[in-house]
Structure 1
């Protein structure tokens, strides 16, 4: 921190921190915000029927959500230095509440999508706040257990989303997916108003508008381009697809170059100079792309291919969500004792095996088999996610905490959006190819075409999982604090080029 940094009068000293009330305040709000990433997945079939839209269109309820979150999170590194923890959380939850109300009473698909995007604004502000709070509140030797709580929210919420969705859709109506959330949002706001305290200093760095523009164009362009390809009719060769992707890539290159030139970058990409943080980021991105393919494709397959009800589909995801929650907490504590390798490598191996068996599913695959495979997948993911994120963030010096949390969460959300678009594209193209080859009665071959598409999706997921396993072999505990000091000194010696 600079000597000129001014601490807000509301900020409390570290000795006065009451960690449990602060973390509970954040966890309640963030849990229901992230829950909405997958809460609609099981309801997709009913929504497609009610609004008369296709699979490639309905995916925007998730892809658009992730797109907005991915665009907004890079800016949170700046927002965290301008506003207090209390201000950001209460403001974000209020925005999320407005979006939820819009979704609950949306009369058509466009308005439902708008509500989802408003929800995403609130979610995008909440995630980095929680992760940065953990980094500030907990010392490194206890951070694994604390990050287990973060993983409990980030992983379990989307994991149980399909279960809750299936139960609510079967017993009520899809609108109650949002109506039932509103009381919890209200409770979170009241609880946070009473117990949430400010834990950071406000430095109020200069706002660089070009950085915000290039960040938005970069992340937004890439995800939008991939999502357009997922509509099937456009295809990867369509200008609407590759032009947005190219614009996104060029904008990101300009954005990164500008961050390296600025004295006070909006998102300090120098965090990537720390190898374990870089490795953790890559591993997380690849893993989340694999995981989101399962969250999207599996509910569609169970309902449209195997003709399970929304309720049965939701129940299929419940055991895995519970196992992931328990394992996330346990893996955090085990990381503090044994380090990352003893957990991450076995976890990656489990994910590889599960994705291989998913790629072999057929119409004869039993309901029990899907439950067992999903449980194993969520257990393997829990062994990976908490240790690698804790390990990577532990290597960063304190001044990089907001930036590291923002970078990690940005790429996770963007990877999820890209993964959904890519896997929906693979599903659609594989189905179309199958129907072209068999000819005859298209309606009679729809189930077989869906199975062929699902097998192709999970075959690619198996490749991604194999990449995770390979990368896991290089993980190790971060360098000591002395090593960090040396790296920081080297960084100070490097010239800084200011943007004119």
Structure 2
């Protein structure tokens, strides 16, 4: 079942060329996950929709990612690297063009779905290819560069859209991305080489349906909590999602007996991967939740414009991007444990400080804490990606990256829903007791950031179980449980 490479020992030049274009494409694609957040008020005014409808532009992106990513583990084994790249970037580019030209709101929603479908293929393709072409001794450095695409792009999305909206129409959010996406697609096709050979296999359509129903309903239900007035609708949808995911898991366990699962869950039998994935999901949950809370705090309570709020969070995203490659080199030298422990401690402390800000807190304090938060996340993301996927045997790389991406999307939706629900319920309770709305909202944010701080503590508890270095299982059976904690 292992994937045979066309070039058993790819040269550094070949590896760098392949990964450079995959990183560029992934960065452009993932940037769009959060690029509409700052543009929400403008889009609501242009299309005449309310806030609950406008938030679908972000929700539907997460929803599509959660539905498509579970299928990519199987899909990437059926096609070549160039075929997967061409499909992903063609779909993403088509969605970007449709978004820029959208005459009505529902067309913009469809465009976001198309964009997300292309993005969902790029993420696992990048991670799977990296694990195949980069030797274990150099994975930390390379993964540090990859972190910029996966973690920094969502952090920079609101800042980029804020800059564009300062003097241009909302359509330019997509029009500026469009030529970049086309250039990356053309350049990548000219220089990309196929890293592995396709392995045609039967697809279990029941698994596809269960994945779409389960993960889709799960993300939708989580995203709607705290947004709609009737909590029964997201609660029922969430229940449907849980049932769907449960049936999907049971189906994969049955298909694994015949070596034909859509998403191989034997990755979860490996302790390091399981722990790294859990910590990664919680950290991503905290990051997206903090992005929502900070935008609400800066624009609603501090009266900042979208541009000002976007510029304030930009230094943190840039700091994460600049530190990523350095963290990768540190990982290659000292291992992951000495990086993830202080990283988790910093993000928990940062959330704790944000839980104390008020309407008079100096803006430079908020800026400094946000930069610290992004640096802490940078210390986490690169080692967790490297350790988690590095602990898998080669034939499970595509499944491991797909599962990691799926869990991330669910965690992102849950993080947004969690902070909005905590903030809204606390604020509503205080308003009913006679507290001014502004003060009630601030108190709600305090509670939401406090919950995020608890999440940071959970991340710290998880990463404390990780080893300094990971034993790589290149060809061991996936069914083996590996004790890498010793």
TM-score range, shorter chain: over 0.9
The residue aligned with 1:471 is 462
The residue aligned with 2:452 is 461
The residue aligned with 1:225 is 221
Distance 2:132 2:421 in 1: 41
Alignment RMSD, CA only? 2.2
The 1:304–1:24 alpha-carbon spacing in structure 2 relative to 1, beyond 3 Å, is same
Cα offset, 1:429, TM superposition: 2.5
Distance 2:42 2:346 in 1: 33
The residue aligned with 2:285 is 289
Cα offset, 1:143, TM superposition: 0.6
The 5-angstrom pairing of residues 230-249 of structure 1 reads: 230-235=226-231, 240-249=236-245
The 5-angstrom pairing of residues 373-388 of structure 1 reads: 373-388=369-384
Which whole-Å deviations, capped at 9, do the CAs of 1:476-499 have from their partners, x for residues lacking one?
145535x777765857xxxxxxxx
The 1:478–1:171 alpha-carbon spacing in structure 2 relative to 1, beyond 3 Å, is same
Q: What SS does the corresponding residue of 1:181 show, helix, strand or coil? A: helix
Distance 2:454 2:426 in 1: 17
The 1:262–1:220 alpha-carbon spacing in structure 2 relative to 1, beyond 3 Å, is farther
Out of 314-323 and 100-109, give the one that drifted further: 100-109
Equivalent residue for 1:152, pick from 137, 148, 152 = 148
Equivalent residue for 1:257, pick from 228, 236, 253 = 253
Give the TM-score taking structure 2 as reference length.
0.93
The 5-angstrom pairing of residues 172-187 of structure 1 reads: 172-187=168-183
The 1:159–1:359 alpha-carbon spacing in structure 2 relative to 1, beyond 3 Å, is same
Contact 2:82–2:194 (8 Å) recurs in 1: yes
Q: What SS does the corresponding residue of 2:38 show, helix, strand or coil? A: helix
The 1:226–1:266 alpha-carbon spacing in structure 2 relative to 1, beyond 3 Å, is same
1:19 to 2:10 alignment: no
Equivalent residue for 1:438, pick from 418, 434, 440 = 434
Stretches of structure 1 lacking an aligned partner (at least 5 in a row) = 440-444, 492-500
The 5-angstrom pairing of residues 356-435 of structure 1 reads: 356-435=352-431
Distance 1:479 1:176 in 2: 45
Q: What SS does the corresponding residue of 2:421 show, helix, strand or coil? A: helix
The 5-angstrom pairing of residues 80-95 of structure 1 reads: 80-95=76-91
Distance 1:297 1:57 in 2: 19
Give the TM-score taking structure 1 as reference length.
0.91
1:66 to 2:57 alignment: no
Contact 2:217–2:237 (8 Å) recurs in 1: no
Contact 1:156–1:324 (8 Å) recurs in 2: yes
1:449 to 2:425 alignment: no
Cα offset, 1:446, TM superposition: 3.7
Stretches of structure 2 lacking an aligned partner (at least 5 in a row) = 482-486
The 1:303–1:259 alpha-carbon spacing in structure 2 relative to 1, beyond 3 Å, is farther
